[in-house]
């Protein structure tokens, strides 16, 4: 059994919100039925071409069946977070996206699980939509970005969001987006190859040193892309925490590495040695198969890297392939087996 914790989907008929609201880079799709592709349009501008598996549920199921994936955990594409928009507009787009996610799950309840999206630029609206996603739409949690319009995740304005997430028992999947230093990353796809990893490390440092995880110890947090660069640099982060407490221990006295076995990460690292390090640092019971389906930077054959790890026991593989995902989401495996 395999549960893919990290996959993205877009509603095929998402409204042209740029036209409706009269501003901004809201994404809609310009479909080309002859090639089964669509162009993601940022307002009137072409953004990128995607294939039908990004929105076509039957196509996704066909590919899941071919790849032995029992369940996909669906979340929106970060470019659809719309944190930059007016809060009431991002609230409307989040509702539309979440209703679509819930609809897909209701049609195939044993094959899909959904993580919602919220307008995180306005904490109260974000809490309201998170509560709706969890209580009304039955979602186990939500996906959020690694920053909110340049504000890190320990921003005091997000305090109520974390409190509400803990109260609801909502699992929070943190996905890098709006990458830092874009003015120096115009070449070599570096926002995706360097920026995403650094964004995720910054999110980890903000939540740990910022005291968010101390304050809300029951939060369930998962970082995408194998945790980005923090698992490999945790020794340096701990050392800095110890030698400059005046800079690092301002909101937390807990060593940053002490959280490694309390958070979750996905397995998407594309390298056997890197996954070995993650297993050593975080443990198999905190690492969940994730592929970033259906995008090219993802793992094209879900679980191939885990399969390659010949020294793993069957029990360890079970955790990586599905048990960790279920533990993070707080779901029972008997519903999906
Ligand atoms: Zn992703």
**Quick count: other Cβ atoms within 10 Å of Cβ 311?**
7
Specify the pTM: 0.97
Given a contact cutoff of 8 angstroms between Cβ atoms, the answer to whether 288 and 3 are in contact is yes
State the distance from the centre of ligand 1 to the C-alpha of 298, rounded, in angstroms. 8
State the distance from the centre of ligand 1 to the C-alpha of 306, rounded, in angstroms. 19
State the distance from the centre of ligand 1 to the C-alpha of 158, rounded, in angstroms. 23
State the distance from the centre of ligand 1 to the C-alpha of 144, rounded, in angstroms. 11
> What are the tokens at 189?
């796809």
Q: Is the pLDDT of residue 36 over 90?
A: no
State the distance from the centre of ligand 1 to the C-alpha of 78, rounded, in angstroms. 7
Q: Is the pLDDT of residue 217 over 90?
A: yes
Integer CA distances (angstroms), 255 to 224, 243, 331, in order: 22, 12, 30
Terminal Cα-to-Cα distance of the chain (whole angstroms):
7
Model pLDDT, residue 48: 92
Q: Are strands 171-175 and 220-223 parallel, antiparallel or unpaired?
A: parallel
| CA 164 to centroid of chain Cα atoms | 19
Average pLDDT over residues 275-295: 97
State the distance from the centre of ligand 1 to the C-alpha of 326, rounded, in angstroms. 19
Q: Is the pLDDT of residue 151 over 90?
A: yes
- Which positions ≥6 away from 142 have C-beta within 8 Å? 115, 116, 117, 118, 130, 133, 165, 170, 171, 172, 173
State the distance from the centre of ligand 1 to the C-alpha of 77, rounded, in angstroms. 7
Model pLDDT, residue 43: 85
State the distance from the centre of ligand 1 to the C-alpha of 288, rounded, in angstroms. 14
Model pLDDT, residue 245: 95
State the distance from the centre of ligand 1 to the C-alpha of 292, rounded, in angstroms. 4
Q: Is the pLDDT of residue 107 over 90?
A: yes
Indicate the CATH number for domain 3-24+53-335. 3.20.20.140
How far apart (Å, rounded) are the C-alpha atoms in residues 54 and 37?
A: 9
Nearest Cα to 305, choosing from 292, 289, 283, 285? 289
pLDDT-derived band at 95, boundaries 50, 70, 90 = very high
Q: Is the pLDDT of residue 337 over 80?
A: no
State the distance from the centre of ligand 1 to the C-alpha of 64, rounded, in angstroms. 17
Average pLDDT over residues 287-300: 97
Nearest Cα to 222, choosing from 254, 164, 262, 194? 262
pLDDT digits (tens, 9 = 90+) for 182-205: 999 999 999 999 999 999 999 999
Given a contact cutoff of 8 angstroms between Cβ atoms, the answer to whether 8 and 328 are in contact is no
The 10 Å CB-count burial string (b at 16+, else e) for 106-128 is eeeeebbbbbbbbbbbbbebbbb
Model pLDDT, residue 33: 86
State the distance from the centre of ligand 1 to the C-alpha of 6, rounded, in angstroms. 6
Looking at beta carbons, which pairs linking 190-193 to residues 24 or more positions away fall under 8 Å? Answer: 192/297
Q: HSE (CB half, 13 Å, CA atoms) of 110?
A: 7
Q: Is the pLDDT of residue 105 over 90?
A: yes
State the distance from the centre of ligand 1 to the C-alpha of 250, rounded, in angstroms. 32
How far apart (Å, rounded) are the C-alpha atoms in residues 5 and 243?
A: 37
Q: Is the pLDDT of residue 128 over 80?
A: yes
State the distance from the centre of ligand 1 to the C-alpha of 266, rounded, in angstroms. 10
pLDDT-derived band at 63, boundaries 50, 70, 90 = very high
State the distance from the centre of ligand 1 to the C-alpha of 223, rounded, in angstroms. 10
How far apart (Å, rounded) are the C-alpha atoms in residues 247 and 243?
A: 9
Average pLDDT over residues 110-114: 98
Model pLDDT, residue 89: 98
- Domain spans in the chain, listed from the N-terminal domain onward: 3-24+53-335
Q: Is the pLDDT of residue 276 over 80?
A: yes
State the distance from the centre of ligand 1 to the C-alpha of 224, rounded, in angstroms. 7
- Residue 223, strand partner residues: 174, 265
Give the whole-number percent of the chain exceeding pLDDT 70: 100
| Average pLDDT over the chain, rounded to an integer | 96
Model pLDDT, residue 44: 87
State the distance from the centre of ligand 1 to the C-alpha of 290, rounded, in angstroms. 9
The 10 Å CB-count burial string (b at 16+, else e) for 142-177 is bbbbbbbeeebbbbeebeebbebbbebebbbbbbbb
- Please provide the size of the chain in residues: 337
């Amino acid at each position: 059994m395999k549960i893919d914790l990290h996959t993205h989907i877009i509603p095929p008929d998402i409204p042209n919100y740029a036209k409706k609201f009269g501003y901004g880079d809201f994404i809609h799709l310009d479909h080309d039925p002859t090639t089964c592709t669509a162009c993601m349009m940022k307002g009137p501008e072409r953004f990128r071409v995607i294939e039908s598996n990004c929105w076509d549920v039957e196509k996704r199921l066909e590919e899941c069946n071919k790849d032995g994936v029992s369940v996909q955990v669906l979340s929106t594409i970060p470019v659809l977070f719309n944190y930059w928009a007016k809060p009431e507009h991002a609230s409307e787009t989040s509702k539309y996206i979440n209703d679509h996610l819930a609809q897909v799950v209701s049609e195939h309840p044993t094959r899909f699980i959904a993580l919602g999206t919220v307008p995180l630029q306005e904490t109260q609206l974000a809490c309201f939509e998170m509560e709706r996603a969890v209580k009304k739409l039955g979602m186990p949690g939500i996906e959020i970005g690694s920053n909110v319009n340049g504000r890190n995740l320990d921003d005091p304005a997000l305090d109520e969001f974390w409190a509400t997430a803990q109260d609801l028992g909502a699992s929070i999947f943190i996905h890098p987006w709006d990458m830092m230093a874009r003015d120096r990353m115009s070449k070599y796809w570096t926002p995706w190859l360097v920026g995403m990893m650094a964004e995720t490390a910054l999110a980890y440092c903000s939540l740990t040193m910022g005291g968010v995880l101390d304050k809300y110890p029951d939060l369930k947090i998962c970082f995408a892309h194998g945790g980005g660069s923090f698992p490999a640099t945790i020794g340096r982060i701990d050392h800095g925490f110890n030698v400059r407490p005046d800079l690092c221990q301002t909101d937390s006295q807990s060593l940053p590495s002490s959280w490694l076995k309390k958070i979750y990460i996905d397995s998407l690292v594309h390298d056997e040695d890197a996954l070995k390090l993650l297993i050593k640092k975080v443990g198999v019971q905190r690492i969940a198969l994730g592929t970033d389906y259906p995008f090219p930077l993802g793992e094209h054959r879900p679980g191939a890297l885990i399969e390659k790890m010949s020294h793993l026991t069957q029990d360890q593989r079970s955790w990586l392939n599905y048990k960790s995902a279920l533990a993070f989401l707080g779901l029972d495996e008997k519903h999906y087996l």
